[in-house]
Structure 1
Amino acid sequence: MSGPRSFSDLPREILGYIFTYLTDSDVAQMCRLSKSVKIEAERILYRYVAFPTDADAEMSLLKTLARAPRLAERTFSNINRLTDLMLIEFWNEEDPLPSFQNFVDLLVNCSFQLRTLECSHIDFEDLKPFLARQPEITELILQHWEPPAYIAPLPNDFLANLEVARMDPRIVAALSSSPPLEHLQISFQHPTEDHELPYIDSLARFRSTLQGLGLERHGAFGGHPPTRDILIHLAAALPSLSTLSLCDQRTMYFYEKDAGITPPEIDTVTDLVTALSKFPCLEVFVLVAVGYADPHSLWWNLWDNRSSFGLVQLFMSACPSLRYMALPKSRSSPEYLGFSRAENGDVDAVAEELQPRDIDWAWRDF
């Protein structure tokens, strides 16, 4: 007596039984139908590919592909309808991969055309050849890496259809064309006056399309222009801006350590109110919390004897177009509140316990 048939044998046996009742033309028609179903299934399956969400698993997969060119080539050559690639992560500084450039070269030769790409820990110069072959990208997220001090002007058709971007301001400045950017986040890690203001002024070429901007400032105050000046320049460059997300994490830490250095100007609430009054079309303003409360910082000054509701009233009175605002409940609170202004001018709390992601992506989604 023979053993039970394996499950994998059953479909073939059933098909063979069915085919005995069909004419040759019917069999041919079924084969054509099967081929069409296979093509459509592949189109759906390969339309969106996400790497493992666990960082260790994702790293293991990508390192395997980077070290096995034939496997990588087979994998990417079969994904010819991929449109969304989420997260390529390589910590080159901690674990350098000699074959990483070969891996990028494989991507360059792929036939798929991405619409969205999110990368971290990848050198921009390594990624640039791949991006040059992806003119259909509309959303690009580049984070957690330090670009070179200077990026040469990019070709006119480089990222020509970009609509949403999170990237270093040096990359934005290097774009020779003016893509239809609608939402942008930029971060100044160690800015100086010569470094920041020209990049802010250069955003004027996107004034006809840019609706939302996320602005982050980090580091100590040395040589920095005050946030008031940054925002005034921003209002002049982008008068039609409707959404602004601001995270100012600058502190006086280094100046407290260094005797003899005169502390530079620290923004006050009045400075920020003055700056917001320069935005004629701003409808949404989001204040992003910082992870500490340094007594010598804008963040400290904002919350000095003030409540979240009091701050909202100040900002909305200074900016008549402002309709919605989100900010932490207090100076040290991880929770956010949302406020809106009614047609009669009354300000009400409209949302409590906003999620961190709501705040982090406010420049894009609000």
Structure 2
Amino acid sequence: MLSEFYADLHIHIGRTWKGKPVKITGSKSLTLENILHTATMKKGLDIVGVIDCHSPEVLEEMAVLIKGNKLVELAGGGLCYQDTTLIPGVEIEVNDENCLGPLHVLAFFKSWQVMREFSTWMQHNVTNINLSTQRIACDAVTLQNTVHELGGLFIPAHVFTPFKSAYGKGVKKSLAEVFDMNQIDAIELGLSSDTGMVKGISELANYTFVTNSDAHSLGKMAREYQKIRMQEPTFDEFQKALKEEDGREIIANYGLNPLLGKYHETACSDCGYRTTEVPCPNCGGKHLVKGVAVRIKELTDTDETLRDRPPYIHQIPLDFIPGIGKKTMEKLLISFGTEMAILHEVSKEDLEKVVPLKIAELIDKGRNGRLSLSVGGGGTYGKIKSE
């Protein structure tokens, strides 16, 4: 019997359990156990992909949690923490001779043991194995081969963002310039694009799309995620869902309206002013950051509908909504359990019993994509109008 599960597969670790940095720009509270606790107790996520599990101190912490039965290894892959499955992952930077610039990719593995084996291989090819998103000293195809030899999954990350992404920085026109197309397991869209925007890029038609938070703090977890139909929340079932096998599939992507993305529109790289003119009419700057919307138009090569996709639902995370501070969030969680419950199950009428009418209305509009927005660009997120 198949069920539905919520998954966010791109969450960073800021610090190890011993306080050492992993993702330097990540929050100090973003430890592995805090991520797992937040996922199961506050966010309501059934699966999390933590993409800094290669770090030796993170692997050490995982081993301790396994020994103490806080993490339970699943027969189908992944590790169970209370109500949430952890899929160990890693984010890696590629910049080989085929790349125009550095780009990021994600890899996921079935078990702690395989993650450790990959980490052992990786430490001979990076400068600092302890830190997140290290540049690999091999070409992309060698990396793909290594990931798949270990039974892993390979996914280009946030592929349209202007910096450190495949289409934004790494290739001129096609992913085939850098990757073996047969060894890509899915495509991560990123925070400034959605299914509708990219439907005319024909080379993506064969791949499942995933949408993830790229969280650098606990609060940003599940700002983008997906609902997956599977038998159980395991690595093997997730792999089947990416391949759309035996009824397993992603049935909905949830994410910010691309208009809120901080690189949606072209803007001056010096002052962030939204413009396509050089020099910038605001500051005289001579360099622009090309907007994701512009880049996608450059890559679009067909007007045909190449395949049916699950709905991409524009949803505003609760902590983005004006008026929802720490106390209001705590009140909502005490009343309704998790953010997934609030976003997907709780009626507007029940919300009104707990928070002021205006906030209840904003939550309801936010989870249905009906809030008024200002557009983002130049490194600044768009904003939600309080109305």
- What range describes the TM-score normalised by the shorter chain of this pair? under 0.3
Structure number with the bigger relative contact order (C-alpha 8 A, sep ≥ 6) is: 2
TM-score of the pair, normalised by structure 1:
0.27
TM-score of the pair, normalised by structure 2:
0.26
